[in-house]
Amino acid sequence: MRTYVWDLPTRLFHWLLVVCVVAAFVTAKIGGHLMIWHGRLGLAILGLIVFRIVWGFIGSTYARFATFIRGPAAIRAYLRGEWHGLGHNPLGALSVIALLGILSLQAASGLFANDDIAFEGYLTSLISSEFSSRITGIHQLLEKGLLLLVTLHVGAIIFYARVKKQNLVKAMITGWAAGSPEQSSRGGGTAAAIVALLIAAASVWAASGAWLPEPATPPAEHTAPDF
């Protein structure tokens, strides 16, 4: 039997985040004119993270933080093989929270970072150049932590596929997993998705610096005519 676990907004969030993170990494490594796209991808990642946080409160059953964030007792039970459930397991929940946290910090720090050449984050003008340089260092350091978490995440997916014979990727594509129909996800819906999208869009607008005043244009220099 099958049960519906992952709703469409959760699945779209997951795969769009994968695409944006990979593209942001590639554009950062290539640099040059692609840094413009790196900044745009950072805004997209920020919007996706905000959407997922909101969806964690108003989304469907297994997308809600209250469903999958559990205490030490649940983690110990899982490690002993005594935990049985749907959605994120207790260790998987820790991975989700860690990834959301480090991506939030990465996207936020990128708003104030610079590459000392031609690219500046959308909100860099709000801070001093010295502080921006410090944040840039943090942004680069977080990249290493993100790569470590992604590696562990992918490793866990391979472990589940090879050892436990559970195809987590397929479930995140189709939304369906093994289980009884009465365990199917409930809640969420169109209205909740619209609310989450509006809040995410507002966060992207604010992070883009569109509300900042236009920089003052320096006065034109007047030179005396030559006679």
Kindly state whether residue 196 falls inside one of the protein's structural domains.
yes
CATH number, domain containing residue 122: 1.20.950.20
Instruction: State the residue range of the domain holding 12.
Output: 2-207
Give the closest residue to 83 by CA, choosing from 95, 75, 71.
Answer: 75
pLDDT at residue 216, as a whole number: 65
Kindly state whether residue 221 falls inside one of the protein's structural domains.
no
146 and 103 Cβ atoms separated by less than 8 Å: yes
The long-range contacts involving 66-75, CB below 8 angstroms and separated by at least 24 positions, are 68/92, 68/93, 68/96, 69/93, 69/97
Tokens of 16: 């769009």
DSSP tally for the chain: helices H, then strands E: 8, 2
Domain count, the chain: 1
Average pLDDT for residues 24-53, to the nearest whole number?
Answer: 96
pLDDT at residue 88, as a whole number: 93
Q: CB-based contacts of 222: which residues, under 8 Å, 6+ apart?
A: none
- The string of pLDDT tens digits covering residues 152-209 is 999 999 999 999 888 999 999 999 998 888 899 999 999 999 999 999 999 999 999 9
Taking the complete model, does pTM exceed 0.95, yes or no? no
pLDDT at residue 71, as a whole number: 87
pLDDT greater at residue 57 or residue 75: 57
**Confidence tier at 81 by pLDDT (50, 70, 90):** confident
Kindly state whether residue 90 falls inside one of the protein's structural domains.
yes
195 and 26 Cβ atoms separated by less than 8 Å: no
Kindly state whether residue 154 falls inside one of the protein's structural domains.
yes
Kindly state whether residue 217 falls inside one of the protein's structural domains.
no
pLDDT at residue 222, as a whole number: 58
**Confidence tier at 82 by pLDDT (50, 70, 90):** confident
Kindly state whether residue 87 falls inside one of the protein's structural domains.
yes
Q: Reduced to 3 states, what is the DSSP secondary structure of residue 1?
A: coil
- The string of pLDDT tens digits covering residues 89-147 is 999 999 999 999 999 999 999 999 998 787 899 999 999 999 999 999 999 999 999 99
